[in-house]
Structure 1
Amino acid sequence: MIHEYAIEPSVLLSWATNDRDYYEFFREYGLGTPRIFSSFPKQKAKKLRRYFLAQVSADDQSQQAMRYTEMVVKLVERIVVREVEADQSEWSQRAVAENERIPFNVILSSELIGTDRNLTPDKMYEPGSIWNHQDQLNIHRTTEGFYSAISNLLRLATEQIVVIDPYGYSDKAIKQIQYLINHLPEKRVNHQIPSITLFYKTNTNGLNANEVRERILARVRIDEICTVLKVSELEEVPGSDVFHNRCILTEHGGVSPDFSSNGYLWLKPHKSTKNRFLRQLHVQKKRENTICDARCH
């Protein structure tokens, strides 16, 4: 699953001093990993980049400074956009206040700052550390149980949510999508509702993309969803593998839900973009909805 990390600049600077931490940073954080950095204490990537780079002199040509700059560029490449107010107080004070408002998943600081979910680098690898994230969950095979496993991925998204489900036209899938949409406003770090796109496989029951979309909207309680929901029907390319993959993607990555025979849910992280993932499935777009629900007008 995707987890929002707040990091103190001094921690990143210390990681630039040795090979192990430097290389681990690129391996363990960012798109395709469970750990995505927060835009805190800023709200935009450009401002966050400027904030971190201000911690070193622009004239510093040391290996540490060059590594630090490279790490900052990587850090802001893909972030969780958190709505924060301008504040000139110390990073630690702001982190405590923001964590009380809407909790981070993990806060990495050079010293403990007296708030929940706070770690220092020397405690990251201890048994039971919150830095370690499971990729296998034991959940109930219900809509509620499934949503609880992926809710963090969805609540952190501000750009897009893409559901790829070959049977997305079925009653069961439609009910799951309705549940997902109706719970989107909960515990969000940003009020921006992302676009939502469903891709499903051509079926023989006669439902087209417009009809599937209307069925979804029928029990959606959020009026603005009708302006951001899009449904597309896909057909397999002749001679390709059967389209059976199910995946949920956002701008932060995604997961392929896979229930094992013993009842566990595997959440496999994805680094793919939407278009790359569709190419991997060897499918092509057949039809997409072309009309808008009356509530949009």
Structure 2
Amino acid sequence: MTRSTTARSALLLGAVVLLVAAVALSLTVGSRDIAPTDVWRLLRAPDGTGEAAVIHEIRLPRTLLGIAAGAALGLAGALMQSLTRNPLAEPGLLGVNAGAAVAVVGGVTLLGLTEARQYVWLAFGGAGAAAVVVYLVGGTTRGRAGTSPVRLALAGAAVTAALMALVSGLIYTDAQALDRYRFWAVGSLSGRDLTVLWQVAPFLVAGLLLGLVLAPALNAMALGDDTGRALGARPGLVRAATGVAVTLLCGAATAAAGPLAFVGLAVPHAVRALTGPDDRWVLPLSVLAAPVLLLLADVLGRVLVAPGELQVGVVTAFLGAPVLIALVSRRRVAAL
């Protein structure tokens, strides 16, 4: 079904409104409820009270991290689905989550790292290295260079399985490493300050810009390599650039917040079902919609077991699984 530009623009505007509402909820809801008017006042002029400390030291950093990680995972998922021509693909398909996990476990067991800000560079480096290995393995077969969506997916699955086996071997021999890895691996926006976000911000911005620029080329590639070439796209270059963008986005988000399930899978799929297959609309709408899911999941985790808290990675798994089941149970899966 062809969607009109007006309808797609309305969806884009609706996503912006929902994102603003999600940010407001993230700043106001928690174990200590703060009125929206007080939040706005304290954001502009902190007065040294406990409420000001809660907003500036806890809620503002996790809200900004939620926006950044959500946008990165949403775009990375949309790019992976276009790259592999699989509407159920997800960012971890390139092995970035597994690569980050190996690096974090190595840092904990070998270097004795204990804080999230110390994990960031190791996790990002591990994610990048794993993606390079997947691309090299999936890009060559029987002596011939070149990539295809199927080979990339198979290479990603194989590398991920090998790396996660290594992770299991490391953490099950070190109880301390297991405890620290469990906290990182569940995915969380809490316990991170703005230093973590600033560390990964350049990679997030570069990945966002590169990913959005690729939309026209991905549209051409969706028609097949030959048609894509006829329309001016270069398949090898497009796949390589898409892989770089996914690595930057998913690697940075995973390094900062840990692996967050379903955000990069369910959100782009739902967006594609609403907008149609045109990546010029799917990509930017995924950037806006994914942070909404992540922030709302974070808020929900604060209130469900108050005064305790559920980590956002647990909540996104509970929210994303039924949504995804409902989507794939429809008669037609959103086509790419």
Shorter-chain TM-score above 0.5: no
TM value normalised by structure 1: 0.25
Instruction: Tell me which protein shows more helix as a share of its residues.
Output: 2
Instruction: Kindly indicate whether structure 1 or structure 2 has the higher relative contact order, using CA contacts under 8 Å at least 6 residues apart.
Output: 2
Instruction: Tell me which protein shows more strand as a share of its residues.
Output: 1
TM value normalised by structure 2: 0.23
